[in-house]
Amino acid sequence: MLSPALRTKRYIWRDWLMSYLFLLPALGFFLLFVAYPMLKGIYISFFNHTLNQFEFVGLDNYKFLFHDETFIKSMRNTVLIVLIAVPIVIAFSVFVAMTIYKKSEWLRSLFRGIFYLPAVSSVVSITVVWASIYDPNFGILNYITSFFGMDPIAWLGDPDTALYAIILVLITTSVGQPIILYVASLGNIPASYIEAAQIDRANSGQIFRKIIWPMLMPTNLYIIVITTINSFQVFAIIQLLTSGGPMYETSTVMYGVYEKAFVLGNFGLASAMGVLLAIVIGVISMIQFKFLGSDVEY
């Protein structure tokens, strides 16, 4: 007979080993196809790596980027997109969810489905449609605004509107999942809480602030993190609608990575941009986790 202490110890060992085995496939795929290429990407960022060159240059790529106007502008646009898109996605999704969550099951499903449509349709076709909507000469948007006596606007060609036009498309493709989640969380708030508040003559604004919003907090964190990462990585919409123009007003770091690597064949510089972007996303995600309370238990 083993002593209870030894048995526990042995049991713990078994448990650990079991856990590692369960993790093995995930870890294997991850290390091979994500972590290793990622480390190699960092490694490449210290090289002048073009189609026919591979030469160590130390921090030159990074130094270049810190003085490159285009890169700085792209970084600014990237942060701007996140700062604008994320709050709007949250606000819009909460608004839609608040409006539909008490509707019949059939209506709720219908609306959830509709708002999820842009996320499932191929991004290539979505952008073809939006390009025709925004078209400066024959676009539907200018056709509509002309009824209000507005002059035609080159929505994607005007530096004042281009970035916002992109953000609007991004938002339409991002709200599907948040709405589904908010509808579900709202459905989980016990009706008695709200009724009690109504008896206390709280107005709807107060009820929202004091009862509903706090109950949504765990959902918020998840949605904010996911939407932030998605917004940071927006790429196809920009490539297909503006190619980063006009005057780099819609260029993002992600687009710059693509342009430097795959159009110009400068893989070293592109890797350095990617590393900097990953650092920025990482820092912002950490801040979000910290300030929004950690529902993600480590």
Partner 1 sequence: MRLNRSPIISNIIVAACALLFIFPFYWIITGAFKVQDVAVAIPPEWFPLEPTLENFETLFKNPVWRWTLNSFIVAGGEMVGVCLVASMAGYVLAKKSFPGRVIIFSMFVAAMALPKQVILVPLFTMLADFGWIDTYKGLILPAIGWPFGIFLMKQFAQTIPGELMEAAKIDGCSEIRMFYSIILPLLKPAMGALAIFTFINGWNDYFSQLIMTRSTPMMTLPLGVATLKGEYTTPYGVLMAGAAIASIPMITIFVLFQKAFTQGLTMGAVKG
Partner 2 sequence: MTAIRKPFVLGFVLSMLIMLIAACSSGNNGNSEGNASSGEKPAESNQASETPAEPVEITWWNFPNYQPLDGEVGKYEKEIIAAFNQQYPDIKVNLEMITFDGGPEKLNIAISTNSAPDLIYDAPGRIIDWAKKDLLAPLDDMVTDEVRSDISEALWKQSMVGGKTYMYPINTAPFMMAVNKTVFEKMGKLDLLPLDRPDRTWTFEEYKTALQAVKDNAPDVIPSGFFAKSQAGDQGTRGYITNLGVSRFLNEDYSAVAINTDQAAAALDWIVQAQKDGLIVNGSASLAASDVNDLFLQGKLAFTINYSAVLKAQNKTLKKAEFEEVLLPFPTLDGSEPKLEPYLGGMAIFNNKDEAKIAAAKKLIDFIANDPEWGKKNLIQTGGLSARNSITGLYEDEDYKYSELARKFITDPPTIADGYAEIRTYWFPELQRALLGAATGKEALDAFAEKANEAISKAKAAQ
Of these, 6, 7, 9, 37, which contacts partner 1 (CB under 8 A)? 37
- In the range 130-149, which residues lie near partner 2 by CB under 8 A? 135-138
| By the rule CB under 8 A, 274 interacts with partner 1 | yes
- In the range 22-51, which residues lie near partner 2 by CB under 8 A? 22, 24-25, 28, 49-51
Distance CA 101, CA 104 (A): 8
Binding footprint of partner 2, residue count (CB under 8 A): 38
Supply the minimum distance, in Å, between the C-beta of residue 48 and partner 2: 10
CB 212 within 8 A of CB 189: yes
Stretch that binds partner 2, among 9-17, 167-175, 183-191, 201-209 (CB under 8 A): 9-17
Beta bridge partners of 47: 56
Cβ distance to partner 1 smaller for residue 72 or 129 = 129
CB 45 within 8 A of CB 271: yes
- In the range 160-179, which residues lie near partner 2 by CB under 8 A? 162
Cβ distance to partner 2 smaller for residue 150 or 247 = 247
Nearest alpha carbon to residue 46 among 55, 35, 34: 55
| By the rule CB under 8 A, 297 interacts with partner 1 | yes
**CA distances from residue 87 to 38, 48, 81, 216, 236 in whole angstroms, order as listed:** 30, 39, 10, 15, 22
| By the rule CB under 8 A, 264 interacts with partner 1 | no
- In the range 245-264, which residues lie near partner 2 by CB under 8 A? 245-248, 261-264
Crossing angle of helices 36-44 and 267-291, rounded to 10°: 120
Half-sphere exposure of 153 (CA within 13 A, CB side): 16
Cα 122 to the center of its chain, rounded Å:
17
Supply the minimum distance, in Å, between the C-beta of residue 296 and partner 1: 7
| By the rule CB under 8 A, 60 interacts with partner 2 | no
Q: How many CB atoms lie within 10 A of CB 251?
A: 25
Residues lying near partner 2 in the complex (CB under 8 A): 10, 13-14, 17-18, 21-22, 24-25, 28, 49-52, 135-138, 152-154, 156-159, 162, 242-243, 245-248, 261-265, 267
